[in-house]
Each structure stands twice: as C-alpha cells, then as structure tokens.
Structure 1
C-alpha cells in the first residue's frame, strides 16, 4: 500500500481557487450575455448590444466552450486530477479563437474601450497560465 506524500503548496490552492473564481465569473458573463439579462444590458451601449446580440452562433459556442471547459478544468485541478490539463487546454484553444475573432474580425472592435482591450490581454494570459500550471503539476506529482 502506497501513500500520497506529495502535498500541494498553499500557492497551488491559491491558484486553483483564483482560477475557479475567475472561471465562475466567465460562466456568469456567458450566461448573462446569452440570456440578455438586464444587468448585462446596462454594461454596454445600444450600438454595442446590437453587435453582441448578433454575433455568429459559432462565436457564442466558442465562448461557452472556453468558460465551461476552463471551469471544469479548475474544479479538476482542485480535485488534483490530471484531466484538468486537457480541459484547460481546450479552454485555452477556445479563448485563443475567441480572442482572434475579437481582435481581427468582430465588426464592433472600433467600439472597444480600455476595459475591452485589457480583457483581450488578461483572459488569454490567464488561460495560458492555468494550462501551464496544470501541466507542471503532473510531473510534480500533485495531479494524479
């Protein structure tokens, strides 16, 4: 009988919980956008909402894949399961596709403000970090 002697550091838990909270906020954003909630509508001008609510369905699907696979990846990370890496990779790829669309194809990009541009940098970087971290935790013996 073997015992698991690889104990995650406090940094592991901080990163995992931060990733979980970040991705819960992403799911919340997706649901608010998809269901066109009043809270979501107050965040944008009518011109921006017209563009957001008329995005191609594949862009909305990529958004869903990004947030839900990343959320599941963070849950598996906290459960110390190596499958977290695969889900975080799927999320990273979806985030990359969504970012490319938003930077180069989205007809509303001329309406972006400071916040939108900051998020276009932070979201892919955080997604890349979470994937890298999960990948690093496997050989370290933290994820099984």
Structure 2
C-alpha cells in the first residue's frame, strides 16, 4: 500500500458512492420483497403500487439480473473503494455494465402511464453518468497507487 496521502476528495467521493449505491441496493431489495411500505415511502398510493408490482413481475429475469448487477456491483465498489481495495475497479465496472444494460432495456419498454413519474426518464441518465464517474474515479485512484 502506498504511503501517499489521500486527496480530500477521496472520502467525499467514497461516501457519495456509498450513499448513492446504498439507496439503489435498498430500492432493489425492497422492490424484490414487494415491500408496500417502501412504495409508499417512494410516493406511490396503493393503486399505483399494484400497477408497479404487476409490471415488475412481468419483466424477464434478465432485466432483474441487470438491475442487480448495477446496484450490488455499485455497493460493493463503494465499500471496496472506502477500504482502499483495488477490486473497487472491477466492482464498479460490473455496476456500469448492469446500469448500461438496464438503461438500454428501459428504452425498449413501454411504461404504464401510472408509473411515468416514478423512475426511468432523466434518473437513468444520472445513474449512467454516476456509474461511469465512479468507475473512472476508482480506476484513477488505483493507477495513482492509492488502492491496494
């Protein structure tokens, strides 16, 4: 491990990655568990939650797998980055592949009108930009010898 002092932004980016990907992992888990309290927390009423659950249940398994790769890869990447472990790079890369696959798949889907205000749209661009950023950042920190 390098004795090089960590730049000020290392902890800021690491904590941002942890919070962002932690929220994504929580969303994935609560959705897969069909936690109605989570859907209410996200602003959905009972009728909209019913539509969302039916729509999600109708999705092919590979779409859920891409989503899982995105969120769990990102969470692993954030934890590994904060631990200064070089495996943060491939973990964030897995997250990027999952996020990109989910994004492409979402462009091919017709979203029920009741769900248009929840997820998708602009948030998918934010997901992709942050996945690229976190991957690049971990790669840069590894190349500077700050991850071991």
Q: What TM-score results when the alignment is normalised by the length of structure 1? A: 0.88
Flag the 1:91–1:109 CA change in 2: closer, same or farther, 3 A. farther
Task: Check conservation: 2:2, 2:146, Cα contact below 8 A.
Answer: no
Unmatched tracts of structure 2, length 5 or more: none
**1:135 is matched with which residue?**
139
Candidates 87, 92, 95, aligned match of 1:88: 92
Task: Check conservation: 1:69, 1:90, Cα contact below 8 A.
Answer: yes
Task: Check conservation: 1:95, 1:123, Cα contact below 8 A.
Answer: yes
Larger relative contact order (CA 8 Å, sep ≥ 6): 2
Measured after TM superposition, the shift of residue 114 of structure 1 is 7.3
Matched pairs, number: 141
What's the Cα RMSD here? 1.9
**2:127 is matched with which residue?**
123
Structure 1 Cα separation of the partners of residues 38 and 58 of structure 2: 15
For each residue in 1:52-85, what CA deviation from the matched residue of structure 2 results, as whole angstroms up to 9, or x when unmatched? 2221111111111111111111111111111110
Task: Check conservation: 2:99, 2:128, Cα contact below 8 A.
Answer: yes
- Please list every run of at least 4 consecutive aligned residues from structure 1 whose deviation after the TM superposition is greater than 3 angstroms: none
Structure 2 Cα separation of the partners of residues 64 and 96 of structure 1: 12
Structure 2 Cα separation of the partners of residues 48 and 81 of structure 1: 38
Q: What TM-score results when the alignment is normalised by the length of structure 2? A: 0.86
Flag the 1:109–1:97 CA change in 2: closer, same or farther, 3 A. farther
Task: Check conservation: 1:27, 1:67, Cα contact below 8 A.
Answer: yes
